[in-house]
Structure 1
Amino acid sequence: MTKSKTSVSKIFVWILLGFLFVGLIGFGTGNLSGNVKTIGKIGDTDITVNQYVRSLQSELRNTSQQFGQQLTLQQLQAFGIQQRVLSRLVTDKLLENEATKLSLSVDDNSVRDTIISLNAFKGPDGAFNQDAYNYALENAGYTSAEFEEEIRAETARNILSQSILSGNTINNIQAELLAAFLLETRSFNIQVLTADSVEFIAEIPTDEELKEFLDKNTEQYVVPESKMISYAILEPEMLSDGVPVDDGILQNIYEEKKNEYNKPEKRTIDRLSFLSADEASSAISKIKNNDTNFDELSLERGLTGEDVAYGTFSKENLADASEEIFSAQLGEVVGPVETDLGPVIFRVREIIAAESTSFNDAKNSLAKEYALSAAKKLVDEKIEESQNLLAAGGTLEDLVGEVGFKIEKILFNEETDMPVLKDQTFYKSAQNTDIGEFPEIKELSNGGLFALRVDNVVAARTKTIKEVRSELETAIKKQKIQSKLDQTAKDRLKNNWYKGEILRFNNKTRDTILPDMPENVITEIFNLEIGKGSVVSGDQKSYILRLKNVSEADLSTDNAKLLLSQIKNQINKSLSADLFESFANMARINSKLDINEQALNAVHSSFQ
């Protein structure tokens, strides 16, 4: 028999705290037949109903806490959590079965030592308390024999797991090689060529070139599958011209909005406060004598423009010094003025002139506004009539003839850009309606009405040269310029010709990000030998790379030591995980898994 207490207490503390003291309120298996003891087995090891129920209950509690509300088993199943619980339990039982095959177990004394060491069973004096132990097990639905056997099985599984996971360490040389690879630095120059760097005039491509380019890049010039849609639309603007407008009505509207058409002069002002009137008067005197100014006084106090900004006011709304401020010129400083904050001085920063619009000047805009508002009401009055017409079997064309709609057509796909598609209701209707669906009256955000019909679906197709000639010509021109840039860059590299601005980079590692440059520039640098160069093609740019120096990694630095430690830990964990997965997979192959679906369903239906 193998004895081990090393990690059992850690493993079971959370289990006991979860199972024993939270309780099983609201969850039960009272309706489960007493004849059903297991939900399945793997190899010779049973998966008991109680083990599965307890696992489900624990997961249900934990997940409910995360969501902040009590979840049902059905919700757990919908999230895939129930299947995860079962999978985890099967894995545990798989390891338990393998431990049994290998005769791994612990003796009774080890089980006893583990139990009495758990804080969950200790009394106020810190010693093991038999009453607390019995009470906790009873609440959790365990017998003492079941619980002790579960600790024994869990310990055996842990011994087996640790034997697989521990001792898997990477060779130091391997870690150092990887660290040296990552910390190696390189110094290099980059010369950037742009279209301005070369003398080249791209000729207008021929039709043959356009066709060849289109054939090679068909996926970029495709009209997606589209719907041919007919829609009937009635907007307020269509009825506004027929709305009679009375001057008396317009005059009343003008009076209601008089403040909008007649705005008083406003002034934006800044304010500086002082501790005494003498200090404020001294500041005004210095400003008038040109010994200082408002901004300098602000800066002396460490104040910004935001700090001294007081606001924009009409004369009526300004409580302090309104006469002085509205008599002052732009930029003039007035004061001192006694306020609730003490003596202050004001500066006029901006003068907003008064605006006055007479009734006659506003009449046209008032008439349009009134007519549009009245037209919206007329449209509203036609909703029921339009709905009834379609409900009686009427068509979009009938809406035109009998209600006053107009009919339009649109070829709709994800690329279509038309004003009516800016309306979300219309867009969603066009997106979701299929051939054969009856049109419905729906409202537009501008107060209008519409109904649409999908006439047919147009298959995706390649655009014609006529449709995209301009785009093709631009693309071919860019391609030719890029080709010329790349060739010029290669010639300059071959002839070792330095011309123009040279960008110098020193001691850069492989993870360096070079702003505004292609990602493969740094990769290419680390593929070069000292003194060699390469050309990287960009977007209307070419990059001439020249490697100047390679510096091997210094593994004695603190940064290198930290990286080495991280590499070892990561690879060791990965290696252990791979070995464990390989062992588990092999164990699954060699052990038959048998799940009783009827028993599972019985457990699920028993949850209250």
Structure 2
Amino acid sequence: MLQEMRRGIAKVLTFGLFGILILSFALWGTTDFFGSGALQTIVAEVGDNEVTAKEVQRHYERELNVLRQRGITREQARNLGVLESVLTRTVTAKVYDQASSSLGLTVSNEQIVTDIRSQFGQVGSVQFDELLRQSGYTRNEFANMRRAEIPRIQLLESISSGVNSSKKIISNLYRWRTEERSAKAFNVSTSNSKIPTPNEAELARYHRENKTQFTAPEYRAITFVHVDPVSVGKTIKFTDTELKQVYEDRLSEFIEPEKRALMQILVENQEAADKAYDLLKKGRDFLNVAKRIANQNAKATNFGVVAHNDLPANLADKVFALEKNKFSKPIDDAFGKRIFMVTDVVAEKAKSFESVKEALALDLRRDQAVEDVVRLANKLEDELGKGSSMESAANAIGMLPTKIVAIDLRGRDPSDKPIKDLPGEPFTKTVFNTPVGQDSFLTETSSGGFFVVRIDSITKSTLRPLVAVKQQVRDAWISLKRQEIARAKATKLTKQIDQGTDIRSVAKKSLAKVISIGPITRSAQVKNVPPALISKIFSLESKGKATFSATKNGYMVAVLNEIKVADGQSNKQQSDTIQNTVKSRMISDILAQLQQAIRAKIKVSVDQNTLKEFFDRSDNPGYGGNAPRY
């Protein structure tokens, strides 16, 4: 049943209107679920409507949950601009909400109930709530989201429903996309080219004309103190006696409550519920009654194992008053009438101290580390504020400063190796924004630590002298000459083929092997064939013509030997795909124009700085963000 529900909720959350296109504009419900009394940070205004940071945060967290499954961390998501993208989509949804509201598009409570029923059918209330919870919603939030989305979708559908592309456009695109070409090709290698040894004048000229290749970045010598939560956490120890005391104080957290395995019969009206209840009282089998009255199979009838808190209050008390193998009277529910039967009772039990000791110690270390880091950072800042040197300030908190002789903006040393154990960002940015001879402000890292850095000296970015990089200059000069020779040779051989010389003869003289390419389409990727060459093959006007493109080790020359244009009998699936793509792009253009028209009538303003400040605070452990791991 849960798998069926997942498919159902996926259908609701993506609604399949026009694939990703409409998702980009219509998916985001923007109702504020935090209460009007909560402190709100306004990050955008759309007409009379406001977008709060909390609102954006909810959408952002849901997006992160999806990205985490693909191995993308919170920090990477921020760097990729996911937060800004979420804000843009939220504002876009608000703009459409303004338009749908001005047209009087609304949704009644009855329509919301019908919408959810049509998507999920007869599912258990607990399963429904659990699936919503996994997706980051409560039942009210999900209903409110659909209440905002449905008018928006109606607006977009009404605008885009008449969009259609001409058959001629589709036909031409189909032929263009499905055209196939075949070619013969061979490599022009640079490895056998005899390159003379460059003289000093040639090396000096190459060094002078290609300064960026041989210029060293700016390096800075620094001293810094890093109060790291991970390192601090490793120094914190707890005895078994201390852990046992905490275990006893928090025993309620480690008690697994009584649970019950349930079956249910869910029907829409009282008449059906009474009929099912009468049959059960007569001793009929619960599964048989569920099949006969509610048309439920065994999978749909199995409700699962739940605790008292897993159920809504109107169900929990009645269900947990039942004994094993007993069934309830019909119970009213938002989804209809239910009859439950208890098939098993799992007694309450407490987790043993040994089973939770490690997790408890980790939890305590994490909490203590956060407190210790803040305390140490404050003391460090106080010492520096008194005029103490960084060395003295570090000594006052029981730490030693770290010195680095040379670091560049990428966090690398002069040998271009990454420097280990640096604080997280914005460390290098701070290093290069702090004047020489001065201490930076105490700065918090993305991982919850704090650092202060002093710039001891600066080595400016300079062109490395030729004597220091002569071998690199020589290698680069030789590589360039090889490419120049190979290109000249490829140009000459291509011209010979264009003039009628057979490619096999040309390749044989060059001691190269002829390979076959294709038949391929324009979008094909062929192993060991540069994509640029495939594009050039499709730009050739007729068979027998040749072209060439660069490879890693030289050039590849190719001659076109066959063109196959699709006939009038097009592949329906491919034609439909092209038609849908064209339609989506046309809709995208129309919606962009609609956005511009709406924005011309209402005021739309976005405060990116306020949003960034809010998330910079909320992403830090001290403000309720992610805690460090040990």
Range class of TM-score, shorter chain: 0.3 to 0.5
Q: TM-score, normalised to structure 1's length? A: 0.44
Q: TM-score, normalised to structure 2's length? A: 0.43
Higher Cα Rg, which structure: 1
